[in-house]
A and B are shown apart, each in its own frame.
Chain A
Amino acid sequence: MSGPSTYEPKYAAAKWMDKRLPIIRMGADFMTFPSPRNLNYWYTFGGILALCLVVQILSGVILAMHYVADVDKAFASVQRIRRDVPFGWLLQSMHAVGASMFFLAVYMHMFRGLYYGSYKAPREVIWILGCAIYLVMMATAFLGYTLPWGQMSFWGATVITGFFGAVPVVGESLQEWLLGGYSVDNATLNRFFALHYLLPFVLAGLVGLHVWALHHVGQNNPIGISEKTKEDTLAFHPFYTVKDAFAIAAFLVIFAIFLFYLPDALGHADNYIEADPLKTPAHIVPEWYFLPFYAILRAVPDKLAGILLMLGAIIVLFILPWLDTHKVRSMRFRPIARWFFIFFIFFCFVLGWCGAGTPDDIAVPFGKNSGITFYRVSQIATVYYFAYFLVILPVLGLIEKPLKRPDSITKAVLGDGKHGETLAPAE
């Protein structure tokens, strides 16, 4: 939907620049980009995520100025940041809480994409780039969590690098190559720091491609019907800049509540203990945003199978555009799929809950001392997770009858026959 550029340079300097590097044109086209007029608040998470990335990169670069990547000094350097560096406590908390906020927003963004069918043609590449962004985010978060060199950092790194040890034949060599030693040690910490600094810029590059692809094919919208006329769209600025800005401010309120009043609520107490290779913490669990995958990992009793399953849970997202073949994008018009989608969200939460629990503990009690263990619950939820993508969506694609859809966005918004309203922003 990126039609011909409507930008016309007004001043001589702007004209001069436009002939050489049309960067002002690029910005202007970005601002005037025609967006569907019916985007709701779920569509503001893209802007929120852009802000999250900026916050993480800014605070991260600053922390790197004070952090020391050395097993003997890393923990102490973080303590120094929290105690002695001017505003270090604020920046360190901002980075740690910011990671959680980033994932909170990315999950909202992904659920939105799933519900409104934003992965369907012609937006497959946007979706795949989004999955790649999510994957790099997970890698970055994991690497970053190692850096404070607390107990959870150390044991998290030990467990996750252990995944690579499960690869047949070469597993052990691969794991040791990754660690640069027999175990998580100084070499590991240093390379994790280097990669943790690098990946966010890879992330920024991927985000650039994600947005480029979005601007090439145009935004999806809640009814999933493509824009047909100019009436269907509004200029990105000021309509969506102001809406996104409002959403960002509201999101920052939640961010600030965590940052200033619950800075440790999303972390683990054990990470305030310096890494000790001789003692594993009693309850070793990943950060909340990894819990569903952790539950899938533990849902099968075999090491390799667990890892493959967990990997599969992410890979299945990449191929989703070809699994869901239904011609209607938005679940607003797919009454059956909508229910399955609601169950899907429910089971994602169930998986998270199982990830936090101990597998053999009773999750759903029946009478005294008996009931369903977290292990069994996570198996049920894992089956649903995969069934949703591999069975339910493909089958519904063939059989589901959609509801009657409006002809266009404008008709959906205005109803038939209402005209004459202006599309210019109010002064």
Chain B
Amino acid sequence: MAFKTPKNILLGTVLVVTSISGMAFAAGGGVHGDYKMKHPDWSFKGATGTYDRAAAQRGYQVYREVCAACHSLKYVAFRHLGDKGAPFYLEDYPNPSDNPYVKNFAADWQVADIDSETGDEIERPGIPADYFPDPFPNEPAARASNGGALPPDLSSMVKARGNGADYLYNLLVSYDVPKPADVELTPGLHWNPVMEGHKIAMASPLSDDLVSYEPVEIIDHGKSKIVDAPPATVEQMASDVTQFLAWTADPKLEQRKSIGLMTIIYLLILSILLFLSYKRVWRDVKH
């Protein structure tokens, strides 16, 4: 009996956990029948996965030069780019506001402000503490510029869709899938097999060589390393910007996994010790 019940509990727990996970995952997926989802081997997946710094840095460039024309990133500040676990983190700059990348990128954007002397609305170069500016002053303006559709904020986009990284990547690379003959599109909508309902207001945002990649320098195990620029194909850009947006959605992923590993090792040791204590306390007692 003593051995039977722990096994039952374990079995029960596994059953319950898998079925609730199953239920949670059950809702989702509206991909068109003819389209086969691609599943890139994301570096940040798995128990020890981390972000691909070089790809995320290129992804920032894609966001800056392409997506940012319409999509805000309003919960992300420039200083976040230099945080630990972020694409532009440098060990020498523990305070992200001092990080030279961060300072340069911030200054590269124009941020709306109020002149403290005159009260006029002005634009000034950003500082690390600023958040990524919204490309449109308000929602009606955003809709007016986009045929009535509102470009969603991208800060948490990868978390806001089931299997978000794959969703985003496939959405971006599937514009060339031909539209089935029986589908009618209203003007201003585009065929996309990955989009919910398969009709999307956003025109294909990427085309080959839309951005010109340059080699990026990353710090790998304390050593500076130059990563050559890959050809700027649609797939490459889609993959890079997905890396970047995966980071904006889950900036603490690397801390989370490393603290998680330590915690679980600790808990396993504690469980074993407690089990031994339990056996010891109950040594002479039948139950």
Contacts and interface: CB of A to CB of B under 8 A. Distances in A.
Touch A–B, Cβ below 8 Å? yes
Contacts of A352: 19-20, 23
Contacts of A423: 285
Contacts of A39: 287
Nearest to A292: B23
Given A242-B277, A264-B159, A282-B196, A421 B285 contact: yes
Contacts of B261: 260
A253 interface: yes
Interface stretch (B10-18, B101-109, B170-178, B183-191): B10-18
Contacts of B249: 272
Interface in B29-76: 30, 47, 75-76
A283 interface: yes
A422 B284 contact: yes
Interface of A is mostly: helix
Given A41-B5, A256-B263, A261-B47, A79 B75 contact: yes
Given A256-B260, A256-B264, A413 B284 contact: no
A270 B267 contact: no
Contacts of B25: 265
Q: Which of B152, B160, B161 has the most CB of A within 10 A?
A: B160
Contacts of B181: none
A305 interface: no
Interface residues of B, number: 60
B9 to A, nearest CB: 5
Nearest to B156: A272
B164 interface: yes
Nearest to B79: A84
Contacts, number: 160
Interface stretch (A18-26, A100-108, A121-129, A164-172): A100-108
B256 A269 contact: no
A349 B281 CA distance: 37
A282 B195 CA distance: 12
Interface in A366-410: none
Nearest to B269: A249
Interface string A239-271: 100110110011011101101111111111110
A42 interface: yes
B285 A37 contact: yes
B24 A38 contact: no
Given A242-B278, A273-B152, A82 B13 contact: no
Contacts of A257: 264
A264 B164 CA distance: 11
A413 B286 contact: yes
A357 B5 contact: no
A414 B1 CA distance: 12
Contacts of A209: none
Contacts of A421: 284-286
B257 interface: yes
A265 B8 CA distance: 24
Given A40-B5, A246-B278, A83 B271 contact: no
A356 B271 contact: no
Contact of A272 (B17, B26, B160, B281): B160
A273 B274 CA distance: 43
B274 A242 contact: yes
A409 B13 CA distance: 27
Contacts of A83: 75-76, 80, 251-252
Given A79-B75, A83-B251, A242-B281, A269 B162 contact: yes
A426 B153 CA distance: 62
Interface in B64-118: 75-76, 80
Nearest to A414: B286
A323 interface: no
Contacts of A40: 1, 5
A79 B285 contact: no
B23 A426 contact: no
B6 interface: yes
A90 interface: yes
A239 B75 contact: no
Contacts of A89: 252, 255-256
Nearest to A270: B160
Nearest to A151: B160
Nearest to B80: A83
A260 B159 contact: no
A262 B9 CA distance: 22
Contacts of A285: 27
A321 interface: no
A356 B5 contact: no
A26 to B, nearest CB: 23
A274 B275 CA distance: 45
10 contacts: A83-B76, A234-B287, A246-B277, A249-B270, A273-B160, A282-B196, A285-B27, A352-B23, A425-B282, A426-B283
Question: Top 5 nearest A-B pairs by Cβ distance?
Answer: A260-B260, A272-B160, A426-B283, A246-B274, A40-B5
Interface of B: 1, 5-6, 8-9, 12-13, 16-17, 19-21, 23-28, 30, 47, 75-76, 80, 152-153, 155-156, 159-162, 164, 196, 249, 251-252, 255-257, 259-261, 263-264, 267-268, 270-271, 274-275, 277-278, 280-287
Given A249-B271, A269-B162, 10 more contacts: A37-B285, A80-B75, A108-B9, A239-B282, A246-B274, A256-B267, A260-B256, A267-B24, A273-B152, A355-B23
